[in-house]
Amino acid sequence: MEKNTFLNHDKPLLTVMVQADTPQRIEELVSLGVSRGGEAFGMQFCRMKEEYRNRETYSHLFSLCDKPIYVTNYRGWYNKEKSDEVIAAELVELAECGATLCDVMGDMFDRQPGEMTYDPVAVDKQKKLIADIHAAGGEVLMSSHIFNFTPAEKVLEIALEQQSRGADICKIVTGAGSMAEQIENLRIINLLKEKLDVPFLFLAGGECTVLRRIGGNLGCCMYLCVAERDEFSTRIQPLLEDVKLIRDLLLEAK
């Protein structure tokens, strides 16, 4: 059986983000996403209640479909009291249980605004963590959530740094407070496409409706979307059925 992967696809993956505090709700969302054409799933375990956080649950959830699974384990929600060392160990555990792609924060082991550290000790720890995830059979996405508009040169600098640490995919989330900034963000996608040797995901908050709906067709490796909206879903992420239609129409037009 061919191993699931987020790498080397011929079109941007429709990745359905799944946020819930129980495994039962995750199952419902995965089933709904599969029925509506989801091509990968993103499970955010930082939002799952601690009583369900175990290898048996992880392995079960990763077996629900034959699609690649992206996992996050950010510092918020049920992880608020955990150290980065604990969060990192849980990421390795998720990879060991079958997660395809693990999200390593760019400031792991040295919390910083904009989620990017350059502290040599923290960077060495990140490289070790990435190696451990790879050894467990997982791929690594490194993420930096800045949330403010960021000039192209700085975005590229961060992406190249993520790449140098061993990330298989670079993820940067900035912002756009105006249409001019949104248009500049679209240009940044092309810059990353020209300069990076690995796939990337570039997103923005604020005035970002266009970026999140055509970014994949311009060069991002995936779309982050939702099967349906509820109290847990990220409002800015488009509906799967909408972004699938846009992506496929743009691909058809080539």
Rounded to the nearest 5 degrees, what angle is found at the Cα of 234, between the Cα atoms of 129 and 133? 15
- Asked if residue 70 lies in contact with residue 41, where contact means CB atoms within 8 angstroms, the answer is yes
Supply the pLDDT for residue 204: 93
Q: Is 219 exposed, middle or buried (0-12, 13-18, 19+ CB in 10 A)?
A: buried
Three-class secondary structure of residue 222 per DSSP: strand
Nearest-angstrom CA–CA distance, 39 and 68? 8
Supply the pLDDT for residue 172: 98
Nearest to 26 by CA among 238, 227, 225: 227
Residue 238 DSSP class: P
Supply the pLDDT for residue 227: 97
- Asked if residue 120 lies in contact with residue 157, where contact means CB atoms within 8 angstroms, the answer is no
Supply the pLDDT for residue 2: 66
Element (H, E) at 254: none
Supply the pLDDT for residue 207: 73
Give the C-alpha distances (Å, rounded to integers) separating 74 from 44, 103, 235.
8, 8, 18
Each of the 254 residues of the chain gets a pLDDT tens digit; together they read: 467 999 999 999 999 999 999 999 999 999 999 999 999 999 999 999 999 999 999 999 999 999 999 999 999 999 999 999 999 999 999 999 999 999 999 999 999 999 999 999 999 999 999 999 999 999 999 999 999 999 999 999 999 999 999 999 999 999 999 989 999 999 999 999 999 999 999 999 887 678 899 999 999 999 999 999 999 999 999 999 999 999 999 999 87
Nearest-angstrom CA–CA distance, 223 and 216? 6
Nearest-angstrom CA–CA distance, 172 and 203? 6
Residue in this structure with the two tokens 């997103």, named with its chain if needed: 203
Element (H, E) at 117: none
Encoded amino acid at 170, one letter: C
Q: Dihedrals φ, ψ of 146, to 5°?
A: -90, -45
Nearest to 40 by CA among 227, 193, 248: 227
Supply the pLDDT for residue 195: 98
The pTM (predicted TM-score) of the whole model is 0.96
Q: 69-72 and 200-206: which strand pairing?
A: unpaired
Give the C-alpha distances (Å, rounded to integers) separating 121 from 47, 106, 107, 117, 127.
29, 13, 11, 10, 10
Residue 48 DSSP class: S
**How is residue 73 written in tokens?**
């384990």
Q: How many residues does the chain have?
A: 254
